[in-house]
Amino acid sequence: MKTLIGLDRIGRREFLRNGLVFGAGAAGLAAGYAAVPDSFARAVYFAKRDGVVNDRVLVMIQLAGGNDGLQTVIPLQDSRLRDLRPSLGAVAQTALPIGGSEFGLSRSMPGLKALFDKGKVAVVQGVGYPRPNGSHFESIRIWETADPTQRQQDGWMGETIAKNYDSAGHPLVGCACGTTGLPGILRDAEATLTVVNDARGFAFNGGDARDRSIGALYTNTPGIYGALFDSSIATARDTAAKLRAGAATYTPKAEYSDNVRLTYSSRNQLAAALRLASQLIVTGTGVKLLHVTLGGFDTHERQMQRQEQLLAYLDGAVSAFYADLAAHGMSDRVMVATWTEFGRRPRENANQGTDHGSATPVLLIGDTVKGGLYGQAPSLSALATDGNLKYTVDFRSVYQGILEEHLGVDPLAVLGQTFPKLSFAKPPAA
């Protein structure tokens, strides 16, 4: 095992300085400053005893808008595909077969096909949840909170941080890369995390004096946003310092290129976001959970070309990310997983597009993955009454596998219940 992320490297002083973590002002104040060191020590003790201290890192990629599973992992031998999709079904002829002759990846994903053939990609098919919700925003929230009943408000990644790594007490445990705001999947009042849109320019202009005076301005801020403001500023200052220290020592060892032609979404800086993720991992910031987003998958019209461009971009960016980590000797600790709010309707609409659907595949990529096909592809012959696919794997089974096998943390503490096991990941060394 390489250098541990550093629970042990983070001093008590640093923790205290950052003790008022994201949104936790009230709880922090209620606990009182004097109580913090004890709870810190206790948390570290438990974290170590439970074996949470490992070098594993998770990168979740959101394919926002609802990714069409049937044009991502394509059934090659089901004649129903052509019946339901007179135009879009043609993708079966050009797909890149994986794990036999029954399924293939879209032809626009040669990089992932190559990684699949090396055993580095797990494809979980038919992922969804009961009573699928057709709203982008409600279904995003369901996936973010791991709760189809929509009662939870914390994101499952945020909760994972809060329950397992928060005691590290520095802001880079979790990071949303390539966005200006915190995604719901990372939201948790007790989680330490940061948001970096672009590492270049992530500093208060005006040097140390400005940095300090901003810190002074945002101290004990009153009002309902006071704790959020203060912790965001403290996090910003810490993050800026860490990025400054890391930027000098990181040189990407793969070609990341953003696809400027992709105009479907304002969130098309996936390659830059993954490059930033790599910098954070490679420079030893201690980052554990990262989130990036690629938008544009809401393909209600002229889906074929648009979907292929999006998948090609995803393929290129993820391939570069993997190659970069591998060249830095870090790929054995990082898992990449995709998620999307829903798949799309099997029957294409009159605009050569597809409307909102339900079940969809999840791709897991990395050295910690046990490659292959998991789950069961939903039948195209036995659709639900609304014309959508019937899910075969609860999405929380995927989360459970990631938490338990890849990250080595207790999934029950985050998910609240236990789901059928999917063993697509290699557990961390004890």
Partner 1 sequence: MGMGEGTPKRLRADAPSRRKVLAVAGTAAAGVAATRLLGLRDLSDRAFSSALGRTAAMALEMAEPEMAMDPEMAIDPAMAMDSAMDAEMSAPKPAPLAEPSSTPASSATPRPAPAAPRPTAAPVKPEPAVAPRTLSLDWVPPFATEAGRVAHLLRRTTFAPTRAELERAQSEGYARTLDRLLETPPAAPRVLTDADARNIGTLQTWWLEHMIQSPTPFAEAMTLFWHGHFTSDFRKVGTGQPYLYWQNLTWRNLGTGDLRTLVKQATIDPAMLRYLDLGISTGRNPNENYARELMELFTMGAGTFTEDDVKAASRALAGWRLPRANEEVRTGVFERARAYAGQVTFLGKTGTLDTDGVIDRILANEATAPYVVRALWTHFVSPSPNASAVALLASRFKGSGYQIKPLLRDLFTLAEFTSPGSYRALVKSPTELMVGLARLLGASTLARPINAAADGMGQRLFDPPNVSGWPQNAGWVSANSMIARANFVSAALGQVRDLPLADDAYLRALDGVVGPSTASILDRTTGTRDKWMAILSSPEFQLK
Q: How far is the CB of 224 from partner 1 (least distance, A)?
A: 5
Cβ(294)–Cβ(62) below 8 Å: yes
Per CB under 8 A, does 154 bind partner 1?
Answer: yes
Angle at which helices 207-217 and 226-247 cross, to 10°: 160
Per CB under 8 A, does 265 bind partner 1?
Answer: yes
Q: How far is the CB of 357 from partner 1 (least distance, A)?
A: 11
DSSP 186-210: G--TT--EEEES-STT-S-TTHHHH
Q: How far is the CB of 383 from partner 1 (least distance, A)?
A: 14
Please report, as a single letter, which amino acid is at residue 170. H
Pick the closer one to partner 1 by CB: 182 or 407. 182
CB within 8 Å of 58: residues ≥ 6 apart: 157, 288, 289, 290, 334, 335, 337, 402, 406, 407
Q: How far is the CB of 121 from partner 1 (least distance, A)?
A: 28
Q: What DSSP state is assigned to residue 409?
A: S
Per CB under 8 A, does 201 bind partner 1?
Answer: yes
Biggest CA–CA distance in the chain, Å, is 68
Q: How far is the CB of 35 from partner 1 (least distance, A)?
A: 12
Per CB under 8 A, does 135 bind partner 1?
Answer: yes
- Which residue from 7, 16, 36, 203 is in contact with partner 1, where contact means CB under 8 A? 203
Per CB under 8 A, does 110 bind partner 1?
Answer: no
- Which residue from 67, 72, 194, 397 is in contact with partner 1, where contact means CB under 8 A? 194
d(CA 423, CA 416): 19
Q: What DSSP state is assigned to residue 406?
A: I
Q: How far is the CB of 111 from partner 1 (least distance, A)?
A: 25
- Which residue from 6, 226, 252, 372 is in contact with partner 1, where contact means CB under 8 A? 226
- Which residue from 138, 249, 376, 412 is in contact with partner 1, where contact means CB under 8 A? 138
DSSP 44-62: HHHHHHTT--S--EEEEEE
Question: Near partner 1 by CB under 8 A, which window of 41-49, 87-95, 105-113, 261-269?
Answer: 261-269
- Alpha-helix residue ranges (DSSP H) falling in 192-299: 207-217, 226-247, 270-282
Pick the closer one to partner 1 by CB: 62 or 164. 62
Question: Near partner 1 by CB under 8 A, which window of 20-28, 315-323, 365-373, 398-406?
Answer: 20-28
Q: What DSSP state is assigned to residue 108?
A: T
Pick the closer one to partner 1 by CB: 332 or 355. 355
Q: How far is the CB of 319 from partner 1 (least distance, A)?
A: 25
d(CA 144, CA 151): 12
Question: Near partner 1 by CB under 8 A, which window of 51-59, 178-186, 318-326, 416-424?
Answer: 178-186
Size of the site for partner 1 (CB under 8 A): 78
**For 306-311, which contacts have Cβ atoms below 8 Å and span 24 or more sequence positions?**
306/264, 307/68, 307/71, 307/72, 307/106, 308/71, 308/106, 308/107, 308/108, 309/108, 309/259, 309/261, 309/262, 310/63, 310/262, 310/264, 311/71, 311/72, 311/106, 311/108, 311/109
3-state secondary structure of 233: helix
Pick the closer one to partner 1 by CB: 259 or 319. 259
Phi and psi torsions of 59, nearest 5° = -120, 115
Question: Near partner 1 by CB under 8 A, which window of 96-104, 122-130, 214-222, 282-290?
Answer: 214-222
Per CB under 8 A, does 5 bind partner 1?
Answer: no
- Which residue from 16, 76, 228, 304 is in contact with partner 1, where contact means CB under 8 A? 228
Give the CB-side neighbour count of residue 164, counting CA atoms within 13 A: 29
Question: Near partner 1 by CB under 8 A, which window of 47-55, 216-224, 279-287, 327-335?
Answer: 216-224
Comparing CA positions, the residue from 163, 188, 167, 125 lying closest to residue 7 is 167
Structure tokens at 178: 């390539």
Contact pattern for partner 1 over residues 324 through 363, marking x by CB under 8 A: -------------------------xxx-x-xx-------
3-state secondary structure of 77: coil
Per CB under 8 A, does 39 bind partner 1?
Answer: no
Question: Near partner 1 by CB under 8 A, which window of 74-82, 103-111, 213-221, 406-414?
Answer: 213-221
Structure tokens at 95: 């797909």
Q: How far is the CB of 337 from partner 1 (least distance, A)?
A: 22
Q: How far is the CB of 330 from partner 1 (least distance, A)?
A: 24
Footprint of partner 1 on 64-103 (CB under 8 A): 64-65
